[in-house]
Amino acid sequence: MQMDLKWYPSLRADGFPAEAYEQLRQRLPGSTPFNHLGWLQAAEAALPADQQLQVLVGHHQGQLCLCLPLIRGSERFGPLTVQVVRHLGYPLSDRIALLADLPAGAAAQVLRAIRQRLPHALLQLSEVPDDAAPQALLSTWQRRSSLFERRLSCRVPVHRIVPEDRQEISGDPRYKLRRARKRIAACGAQVRRVIPDASTIKALLDAVADVEDVSWKGDDDVGIFSGTLRRQWMYQAFTALAEQGLVRMVLLELGGRCISYRLGVFEHGRVYDYNLAFVPAHADLGSGRVLLEEWIHWGLDDGWEWVDASRVSLNNSSHQLQERMSAQLEQQRLSFYSWRPDGLALGLGLRLWRRFKPQLQRLRHSRPAPAAEPIPEPENPNALTGHSQR
C-alpha cells in the first residue's frame, strides 16, 4: 500500500510536522527520550560539515506513520571509501526506536525512496532493540539488500525497582556501599537529587561538565562534553529535555561544589543512566555506587519502575548496575548493504573477513610468545615511577 512520502532538509524546516512527530513517538513501543525531537534537533545542530541530513516523512490516510532522520557521509573501510547512511544521533544516542508504523507493503517503497535520495553502499542502524524495530520493515529491507548483518552491539543491564530495594543489597556490594557511605559522611559531602528546568539546567551542566573535564574521560577526550560539537549537542539536547521535565541528576557535593554525579533522562517510569564522572582527587570515596543507590531510592519514593544503564560496552563492561540487574536488554546494529558496486564490494569484504577470521585467529594463537627481554636495573633505584591509578 502506497504512502505519501516527503523529504525535509531539516527537523526545523518550515512545514515539518513537529506535533504529529511527538504523537507518533508516544504511540510506538520502545520509543525513548533519544527519539525526542529536541534531542535530535540538537544532534542536527552539531553535525559536522561533511554530513548531510535528510528527513523522510510518510503519511497514510492523513496520519503521520513514518519519520526517519538520516545522515549520509563518507567512511573508510580498509581500502574502500564509501557512502554510509545512519540514523541521526549516532554515535552519542544510546537507544532509538525506528519511528515507523507502516501500512502493509510500504517498507519497499521506503527503502526505494532512501536509495534514490541518498545513494549509499551501507545503511546502518545502531542501538536498536528488537522490540523497537518494526520486523516487517526489517525483513523487507533484508530481502532487498545484497547482504544483511544483525550484530549484537551491547547487553544493557536494567534493574526493576521493587519494595525490597529498601533493604540493603546482599554480598560484597553491601560492604562496598557501607564503606563508601562512611567515607562520604566523614568528609562532609552530601548527595542531592535535582530535576532541572529551563532556568537551572545550564548552571548544572556547567558543574557536571567541569567534573568530566578533569576526569579520565576529559583526559582521553571521550566524554560527552569533549570537543565543541559534542558540548554544543549535549547542552542543547539536555536543555530541550529539561524544558519537558525529562532530566534527572544525582549529585555529590562538597562545600557546595559538585565532585561526582550521575546524569539521566527519564520517561515512562524509566530513568536512563546516561553519564557519570567524578573528580579524581575524590576517587577513593566510591561515589558511583552510592549515587546509583540514590537512583533506586528516588525511584521508590516517586514510583519509578526501572533504572536502565542506557548503553554499555559489549565486552569488559564494568557498569555498577550489573551488580543489581534484574534483566538485560539486547541492542542490535543492523547493516543493509546495497546492490551498488561499492555496496557489493563492501559486502564481499565482510564475507571474506568472516571466512578467514577464524583461521587468522588460530594462527595468531599458535605462534609462540616472544621471549621476554630482561628488565635492566635502574641506575638510580629511587627513580622508578609509580603506575597509573586510572
Backbone region of residue 227 per phi and psi (left: phi > 0; alpha: psi in -120 to 50; beta: other values): left
Q: Are strands 327-337 and 306-308 parallel, antiparallel or unpaired?
A: unpaired
Does the predicted model carry a pTM greater than 0.85?
A: yes
Per DSSP, the three-state class of 342 is: helix
pLDDT on residue 379: 39
Binned average pLDDT, 10 residues per bin, the chain of 390 residues = 91 97 92 95 94 95 96 92 95 86 92 97 91 84 95 93 92 90 95 97 97 95 93 96 97 96 97 96 93 97 96 81 91 95 94 80 67 44 29
Cell numbers 594463537 correspond to 365
pLDDT of 29: 82
Please give the pLDDT value at position 376. 43
Q: Is the peptide bond before 9 cis (omega within 30 degrees of 0)?
A: no
Q: What domains are defined for the chain? A: 4-155+331-355 (3.40.630), 162-304 (3.40.630.30)
- Looking at residue 363, its pLDDT comes to 74
Helix (H), strand (E) counts: the chain:
10, 12
3-class secondary-structure state, position 141: helix
Q: Are 239 and 202 in contact (CB under 8 A)?
A: yes
> The dihedral of CA 33, 35, 36, 38: what is its sign?
positive
> Dihedral through CA 171, CA 177, CA 179, CA 185, nearest 10?
-160
The predicted pLDDT at position 389 comes to 25
